[in-house]
Structure 1
Amino acid sequence: MPLAITLLLAALSAFASEPGTSEAATRALAEASRSVLSLEMPAALDALAAVPAGQFTGKDARVRACMLDTFGRAASPSPVAGIEDPFVRRVVAAYRSYWWHTLREPGRRVEFEARLGEALAATLQIPAPTSEAAFDGLVERVGIALRERGLHVQQGRTPPLHELLLWASEQPRTYEVALPEGFTQPVRVFILEDFLSNGWMHYGRCGMRGPGGWATQEGLYAVKHRYDSFASEQFRVSFLGHEAQHYADLRRWPDMPSWQLEYRAKLTELVLADDRLDRIIEQFIRTRTDDESLPHPYANARVIEDLRTRLDVAGGRTLVSVPPADIHRAARMLLIRNTRASQKGHGEHSGDRPAVSRSRGAGSRASTR
């Protein structure tokens, strides 16, 4: 059976701008990043265009120019370059076209998903799918064809969009991760390199952010170039801790909603983080939404709301001003409370409120084979 694709967001989104980039430009980049995750590309472009180009430096300037050029034009960008195999090139181009159109006009997502099916079917020279089951079968056949070419692939959805992560090499490692609820989770981690497609989050933000890793019931997958060091807190906490929590939860509750998996993993980050704690909290605050179909930013909102309630943070106080030990303690208690509720209701609670039911579109499972 297919497995959940639960892409890491927090570690990659704790925004640090280039030296020389102004405070206004930094805020614009953070807002653009949040807007892309919420499928609000016009808002992302408005945020970037509102700050003069001269206030962005280095990579920040390149990201701004790339996003305005790629998504501000009237027609989708030119075909994919740099991929020699014609079949692989056509598959990547099909996904990029789908992402480009959907990010610009999310209200037409169903139409663009149908076009994706037509484009993928054309790569195999078979009829376009006419049902959801046929589409799933088509995606599986495309994945098989990619693997036959020696590539590794992760498909399915990173809610709410269909996903394509494609890489050429990987190396396995074994870790044991101490999780906040008092047990150690052994995990197998695959270190991934040589990417041909980094997924829709990376594409929509011109490389400003993208998946740093994900979890399935088979193990954890880490995108090597996203980490300066495997000894860093970013890797140990926001990858290993975050994804090991997913790994453990998927075994206990394989049907847990994607946003609740993220809620629990983000609490785990807050328990384990020290040096990066303030950055993680600030990023959760910046990238949150009340739209429950967007698992990462929706989980951010729930984490922040539940922390504020538990710590009685009101008025002019902020979570960043709360002593780290209090944050650690509160996050651990919220995680334990969620576990107890999930054991009673099979994943039906987060905090004090019932979880939403997950539609096939928002919570489809993806496979790694």
Structure 2
Amino acid sequence: MNGNDQKTGGRAFATRVVHLGRDTGPLNPTATRPDGQGRPVAPGMQLATSFSFGTADALDDAFEHPDEAYCYARISGPTTDQFANAVADLEGLDGGVPFGSGMAAVHAALLGAGLGAGDTVVSSQDVYGATHTLLGTVLAGQGVRTHLVDFQDVEATQSLIARVRPKAIFAETVSNPLVRVADLTAIGEAAQSVGSVFIVDNTFPTPYLCRPAEFGAHMVVHSATKYIGGHGDMTAGVVAARADLLPALRLVARLTGATLSPFDAWLGLRGLRTLELRLVRQFANAMAVATALAAHPKVARVHYPGLPDHPHHALASSMFGDRGFGAMLAFEIRNGGVPDARLVLDALRLVLPAPTLGDVYSLAMHPASASHRGLTPEDRAKIGIGDGLIRLSIGIEGASDLIDDLRQALDQLPSRH
């Protein structure tokens, strides 16, 4: 099945990303306008902070039933809801709640799962650095205990879940930065067996490549700043969830105030329109770059599930079908340390050193200095993040230009490599 034929909600994915979240259109029927008045093709943007009502009773009803009316932007708004619900629709879940960033969405998902003092969460040991730190500081300070486990060891993961019976399980479909693929089927079954809320960060694959709800996830988190926005000009997060979890998520959003701006939500809707087109190009470029790096004498190892020798290649093929293997990869400089990684980053002329991912531009980052700098060197080594590791987010440029740029940067390394 190719990407254009991938069905969600009865329409191809390519069709849904174009039309979801519009004010009017084939997937969003609305009341007809008076004769002679046209309908906007692009969605509008509602910037209002508050909404007025004809009577005090009507305003009171709006406060009492915030899911049925708009009254204040911190609670909800038309543009932000359009965006979050479009992402949830693509994920095959009942609704979405918007947040001001991906980490705000991660935090809200954990709180929305009901975690509190005395509760336990099981998480992958190589989860994104900021999530790792959130679990170990903020939530730990609130009395939540976190058990970290290597999700690639399915037997150990299932055994731990059965033993500690956590209130929540947090996984990443594809890990950051080592692009390890989680066996969502096995984790989802373990979560169901003990009644845990299963939360999956699906930022890297996006719903084009994988929909975790099909593997039992109750909530799916996105840093929409990344591939969904796609242009490096907005910051947003979304939690898509089953209907029974939405009230708790909305309460967290309302009380913590991690509000998404309508303008960023509008940019997110714009980003959705070209999501599949961008990803198809980025996936093809990533495969070409990974193959070239794997053949370079100064590269010790390339982490990319599209390579046949990657330990999760078969699992990724099973989960992702023939749509590709993502646009994220990482590589280790042979005998490399921090000075070597920085030398390579400084030598890049086309690929941009930047602490983000998912843009149309290709980006490079040193995890030990950026995403995982909050971990001790020992903790980084335990999960396989060495000082010579560089993460790449591949964009939509010409693949040959990207390969040439990486080769010339690696050629700046001394011959000992």
TM-score, normalized by length of structure 2? 0.29
* Structure whose residues are more often helix by fraction: 1
TM-score, normalized by length of structure 1? 0.32
Higher relative contact order, structure no. (Cα contacts within 8 Å, ≥ 6 residues apart): 1
